[in-house]
Amino acid sequence: MTTYISSNLGYPRIGKDREWKKALESYWRNEITEDELKTETKQLRLANLKKQQDLNIDLIPVGDFSFYDHVLDTAFSFGLIPKRFQELDEKSIDTYFAIARGTKEAVAAEMTKWFNTNYHYIVPELNDVTPRLIENRALTYYNEAKAELGINGKPVLVGPVTFVKLSKGYRDTNFEAIVESFLPLYEQVLEELVDAGADWIQIDEPILGTNLSEKEIALIAKVYQQLTASVPHAKIILQTYFETVQHYDEVVKLPVAAIGLDFVHGEHLHAIKKWGFPKDKILAAGIINGRNVWRSDLDDKLALINEIQSITNAETMIIQPSCSLLHVPVTKKTERKIDQVILDGLSFADEKLAEINVLVKGVNQGETTIEHELTESRIARVKLAESPYRQNHQVAKELAQIGDEEVKRSLPFSDRITLQQDQLKLPLLPTTTIGSLPQTSEVKGTRTKWRKGEISDQEYNKFIESETKKWIEIQEELSIDVLVHGEFERTDMVEFFGEKLNGFAVTEFGWVQSYGSRCVKPPLIVGDVSWAGPMTVKEIVYAQSLTDKPVKGMLTGPVTILNWSFVHEELPRFTIQDQIGLALEKEVIALEAEGVNIIQVDEPALREGLPLDQLKWPAYFDAATRAFRISTSSVKPSTQIHTHMCYSEFSEIFEVIDALDADVISIETSRSHGELIDTFEVNDYDKEIGLGVYDIHSPRVPSVEEIKANIDRALRTIDVKQFWINPDCGLKTRGQEETVAALRNMIEAAKKVREEAGAKVNG
């Protein structure tokens, strides 16, 4: 008879009221001391562990907590301090934060997406740094959980192959040697954990879901053979997630005690049927979706567990989420305003752990012991499926009428750009910002008062207009060429549209970590998506009335709205993406009808949603291109379409970006120190482009010389007539003083480059 054990892979750090965020930001503002920061976060960390203990989770993760990012934690523990920070104390938390956020003297480390999620990690820099163990963080948190709560936790480590793969600053030919240089450190960490009493140790290797070479797979085998030989008493769970392990038959043979597989997003049931599963290993089965918020079909999950068991005939099986619960909100218990039908269909982190507990009880003690929970789950799911949210058949009819010709601009770019230049009359190297401007405490506080009914709609609208007017005047004073209205009415670039489109719902407290202390509240796509009426027209038209310069219409694109929402699972994702594209098309046309001549449709998440398996990329890219073009292709040739992308590996998606057929693209490149510019040396790009000339994710103000150097570097490759000058992302999270100072320097740098470039062009 099989024994089933419950487990969790990671728990949200932020707290149900974002206590973690508040403590971090208070420390950064010098409002609390380092000791106070550590005391507050310890209380939160222990509360999170106690909650999992109370939910009867057998294997509770420890070491999943972070002050900023778990990849940065790993780098910092191994003494990987970038050269520009090495004068600082290598053990100081301020040095740790300096790497993540930068200082006045040094730029922050690069930040990019954690696989295909909206979580960002800090990219470790391995340049000329010898790794050494500074602190065994996992041991620290293991001992804390044991001493404070009597929990024999499951330490969580980022695996050595994934860690080095996600790092920068080395040649591919040195990859194996660099991985091997970390093994003595991992051996020491494992030995110390075993000596302390850790029964299980989770080593995360999500890189196994990507297209690794045979040589890399051989290296992984070598790594785990060495770790097992060096620390034979370590019971390692080699944990994978997000997608199918590409070399399944080889990975399951690795000399570890357990293998963790994602049965939600991966095709591992098929793999087990084909290749089997070793009798000498425990299968840690990711049964509950750790990346979405919908209640599980418990009947279906029980059937899956039973099928896996029948194939493997396992004596012991671990039941767990598909990945860390870092990617979902903490609990739905605090939601008070959402439709009960939707609320009953939701499952956040705490509810997912409760579902795991129910499943484990059902398979260990019999389904009759969980009949109440099964009935409750069935009723909730049926009510949501039969609700009006999922009965808008008109949308399907409209999508069926869209053919290939309907998703093409009426003229090619070479003809459009002439019409646009005649209409807009912009200077050489036009300057702009990405969209959002600082949302001060006054802006956020006023919005909160309005939402609570403490001020009227009229008072709130008047305040938004006053902020818009103030920033239009600031932008004109700075001599920016293409202005933005600032988005002061928007809580978030996706949630805002979720509040205005049919088929969406929004939560009050459904926060998840995006990067650092930045938390976002993804809306819920609960049903068929359609346009309910103008969403942005009033604010853009008002801003345009205040200036003779062009003001961009600002929309979030269909791919990003989809990827940054929690999407229901009753329709294919690409169908829902097209529904969003169709709704946005109507908003684009409404803006154009009001005389808005530049419309930006942002797609920062275009690359983020890429499947880890590259064989699935063409279908994804085709769908993304189609949805974007549904949104934008109906405009007049003289209307200029912009888009913006963050943290994309530009070289990998160059052809797709070209296929979007946007007139102007802006792309983040500042933290990667211009590396993305190299793409243009081997590719021809005939449209216009802005590469972010300074990093907005750091509070530091770059100098004129620094910005000019970034511009000059780009212009060595990109034609001056194609280039736009802009920050690398929106300015929502920055303060007014630093924003104005940085933009002033950007404009000054642009003037200097424009003078030099103009002389060359005229000469």
Q: Are 319 and 259 in contact (CB under 8 A)?
A: no
Residue located via tokens 């494992």: 190
172 is in an annotated binding site: no
Q: Are 8 and 49 in contact (CB under 8 A)?
A: no
Tell which residue, 252, 241, 259, has the closest CA to residue 326: 241
Burial (CB count <10 Å: 0-12, 13-18, 19+), residue 314: buried
Long-range contacts of 707-710 (CB under 8 A, 24+ apart): 707/745, 707/746, 707/749, 708/749, 708/752, 708/753, 710/670, 710/674
Write phi, then psi, for 690 (nearest 5 degrees).
-120, 120
Q: What angle do CA 304, 310, 312 make, to 5 degrees?
A: 100
Mode of pairing for the β-strands spanning 111-113 and 120-122: antiparallel
Rounded Cα distance, 728 and 647, in Å: 10
646 is in an annotated binding site: yes
564 is in an annotated binding site: yes
518 is in an annotated binding site: yes
Tell which residue, 608, 609, 510, 494, has the closest CA to residue 120: 608
729 is in an annotated binding site: yes
603 is in an annotated binding site: no
644 is in an annotated binding site: yes
Most distant CA pair in the chain: distance in Å?
86
275 is in an annotated binding site: no
Structure tokens at 26: 């208070």
323 is in an annotated binding site: no
608 is in an annotated binding site: yes
Using CA atoms, how far residue 4 sits from 193, 213, 432, 756, in Å, is: 24, 34, 57, 70
20 is in an annotated binding site: yes
Radius of gyration of the chain (CA): 26
Contacts for 704 with CB less than 8 Å, ≥ 6 apart: 745, 748, 749, 752
519 is in an annotated binding site: yes
Write phi, then psi, for 256 (nearest 5 degrees).
-125, 165
Active centre residues (catalytic)? 697
Q: Are 124 and 160 in contact (CB under 8 A)?
A: no
294 is in an annotated binding site: no
371 is in an annotated binding site: no
Tell which residue, 264, 259, 161, has the closest CA to residue 207: 161
Note the Cα 53 to chain centre separation in Å: 29
Order the strands of the 688-691 sheet from edge to edge: 553-556, 598-602, 640-645, 664-667, 688-691, 723-724
Mode of pairing for the β-strands spanning 723-724 and 688-691: parallel
Q: List binding-site positions for 5-methyltetrahydropteroyltri-L-glutamate.
A: 18-21, 113, 518-519, 564, 608
Q: List binding-site positions for L-homocysteine.
A: 434-436, 487, 602
Q: List binding-site positions for Zn(2+).
A: 644, 646, 668, 729
Q: List binding-site positions.
A: 18-21, 113, 434-436, 487, 518-519, 564, 602, 608, 644, 646, 668, 729
Q: List binding-site positions for L-methionine.
A: 434-436, 487, 602
